[in-house]
Structure 1
Amino acid sequence: MTRSTGTSAWLDLPAQDVSAVMPFYSGLFGWEAEDLGEEFGGYRILRSEGELVGGAMSVAGMTCPEGSDLPSEWGVHLAVDDVDARVAKAREAGGGIIVPADDIGDSGRMAVVLDAVGAPIGMWQPNQLDGYEFTGKPGSPVWFELMTHRYDDAAAFYTAVFDAELVPMGEGTDEGGDDVRYATNGSGESASWGLCDAAGMMPEDAMGWRVHFGVESTEQALASVRELGGSVLDGPVDSPFGRITTIADPEGASFRISAMGEATTEG
């Protein structure tokens, strides 16, 4: 595998009506969707300008253990060297199993676990498919982060299960930072995702992993979101990492857009 254990590798969208929601993403990001057919349950591979972004699938008729419909929400998968061994580590670290380890054709082997703070997280052991392509271009994934009220528990889980190397924001620099605890898995350009202590910032039911996609222009993207039936949940917010807005697609699956060319400087 070319990605090291614990780095972001894949993302996908389970949707109640994947055919109905795909035009939203095609219109917003210009994605093309390839249906893999019945053998893979109608799973769709998503590309931006021919480069891999992630996947989407229908969960119509599928329910949670308590009987409610499975929600439409973006899921994140981290690279692992051995899915089965890492699932065992997840159990030992206080996690649970949502989707047991299974082979996905000759693409790789996957599982989805519940981490120690209650957030679903996928595992991807690549074979023929290494993962999405790191491009940084508009329409591609540019960042991932876990928001939690239990920062220390999350840090312990991802360190034990995914070999995370968490670096507190501003460590080793002259930046004073603020009162929010935020760490990245890796430092500088090697960072692949973030962990945020969201206690006091967000309600408990909003916790979990969230995905950021790059856009060229915030205003153009927001106009498209509204025209295509989506909604703005929060923002835009200016930051040194881009102008960031939280969006919901027509089924309510949330994600963030980041116009990195509109980043502000601190000071």
Structure 2
Amino acid sequence: MAANGNPTWVDVSLPDVGSSQDFYSSLFGWTFEDQGEEYGHYHMIKAEDGRVLGGAMAAAPDDPTPPAWTVYLATDDLTGTLERAKEAGGTVLFDAMPTGELGTMAIATAPSGAAFGLWEPKTFDGFDAVDASGHPVWFETMSGDYDADLKFYAKALGWEPAAMDGVRYSTNRPGEAATAGICDAAEFLPAGTPSYWRVYFRVDNTDDAVARLLELGGRVLDGPQDSPFGRLATVADPSGVSFQMIMPSEA
């Protein structure tokens, strides 16, 4: 399983899973496998290489929360993690919920209000962390309360924050052990926009992927643009669910 505090799963709530399947299958080559009534028709998403990379579910019609991707962080002690999260200023939105023999999940928020999942595995560890097309390759929280969130993730989930030079950005661990980041977004989050987590999906060519996304009815929110880590774009699917696409740099 992933180390405590590392991203281990992602899933997305969608207004219409059927039409979204067509979009993501055409964009990334994903396939969706319905897990049946026992699991509320939760869908496992597989990349073109056959590896499971995440999940999808239908958004509840009366849910006021906009459909979005959720990042799940690994824990080998969900009960203890939830207690530490509350002690560190977080909030538990959904307490521990067993999912058959697969594991146990919960949903919490950091002090900034950014919601994330927690996953304690039994028979299912989560996705395989691979740098391959169509897979999630980076995860970060856009925080409106950077200092409080840094302390929160360190206490609740054992992060060892490593600050980047010249910017208010830290990774969850130093150097090559880093698997997620936290960005001080207080100055550029639009008024009324809550803090949130976001997911980067690997593509072989960002500009080509953006062109295909537009053909399929998606929208470009920012970019494409070059960064020290690769060429990236912030986009949204036709239902408004946002995510990042990145072609990592060779460095």
- The alignment's TM-score, normalised by the length of structure 2, stands at 0.95
Paired residues of 2:35 and 2:44 also in contact (CA < 8 A): yes
> 1 CA distance for matches of 2:125 and 2:232?
28
Q: Which of the numbers 137, 159, 169 marks the counterpart of 2:132?
A: 137
> 1 CA distance for matches of 2:130 and 2:151?
30
Q: Which of the numbers 201, 207, 211 marks the counterpart of 1:223?
A: 211
Q: Which residue of 2 aligns with 1:247?
A: 235
Q: Which of the numbers 81, 90, 96 marks the counterpart of 1:95?
A: 90
Paired residues of 1:6 and 1:80 also in contact (CA < 8 A): yes
Q: Which residue of 2 aligns with 1:51?
A: 51
CA offsets, 1:48-97, max 9 Å, x none? 0211110000123242xxxx3x3110000000011122112112222212
Instruction: Name the SS of the counterpart of 1:131 in structure 2.
Output: coil
Instruction: Name the SS of the counterpart of 1:223 in structure 2.
Output: helix
Q: Which residue of 2 aligns with 1:60?
A: 60
Q: One-letter code of the match for 2:16?
A: D
Q: One-letter code of the match for 1:131?
A: G
Q: One-letter code of the match for 2:213?
A: V
Paired residues of 2:41 and 2:57 also in contact (CA < 8 A): yes
Alignment RMSD: 1.4
Q: One-letter code of the match for 1:254?
A: S
> 2 CA distance for matches of 1:207 and 1:27?
30
Q: Which residue of 2 aligns with 1:208?
A: 196
Q: Which residue of 1 aligns with 2:244?
A: 256
Paired residues of 2:207 and 2:224 also in contact (CA < 8 A): no
Paired residues of 1:214 and 1:257 also in contact (CA < 8 A): yes
> 1 CA distance for matches of 2:9 and 2:224?
26
> 1 CA distance for matches of 2:26 and 2:236?
14
Paired residues of 2:92 and 2:107 also in contact (CA < 8 A): yes
- The alpha-carbon deviation at position 123 of structure 1 amounts to 0.4
Q: Which residue of 1 aligns with 2:21?
A: 22
- The alpha-carbon deviation at position 23 of structure 1 amounts to 1.2
Structure 2 residues without counterparts, runs of 5 or longer: none
> 2 CA distance for matches of 1:219 and 1:117?
33
- The alpha-carbon deviation at position 33 of structure 1 amounts to 0.7
Q: Which of the numbers 152, 161, 169 marks the counterpart of 1:166?
A: 161
Instruction: Name the SS of the counterpart of 1:225 in structure 2.
Output: helix
> 1 CA distance for matches of 2:152 and 2:98?
24
- The alpha-carbon deviation at position 148 of structure 1 amounts to 1.1
**Could you say if the C-alpha distance between residues 206 and 230 of structure 1 is closer, same or farther in structure 2, counting changes exceeding 3 Å?**
farther
Is residue 153 of structure 1 aligned with residue 152 of structure 2?
Answer: no
Paired residues of 2:106 and 2:117 also in contact (CA < 8 A): yes
- The alpha-carbon deviation at position 129 of structure 1 amounts to 0.9
CA offsets, 1:87-110, max 9 Å, x none? 121122222122210111111111
Q: One-letter code of the match for 1:229?
A: G
In the TM superposition, structure 1's runs of 4+ consecutive aligned residues that sit over 3 Å from their partners are: none
- The alpha-carbon deviation at position 264 of structure 1 amounts to 8.2
> 1 CA distance for matches of 2:179 and 2:62?
31
Q: One-letter code of the match for 1:139?
A: G
- The alignment's TM-score, normalised by the length of structure 1, stands at 0.89
**Could you say if the C-alpha distance between residues 264 and 4 of structure 1 is closer, same or farther in structure 2, counting changes exceeding 3 Å?**
closer
Q: Which residue of 1 aligns with 2:101?
A: 106
> 2 CA distance for matches of 1:237 and 1:149?
24
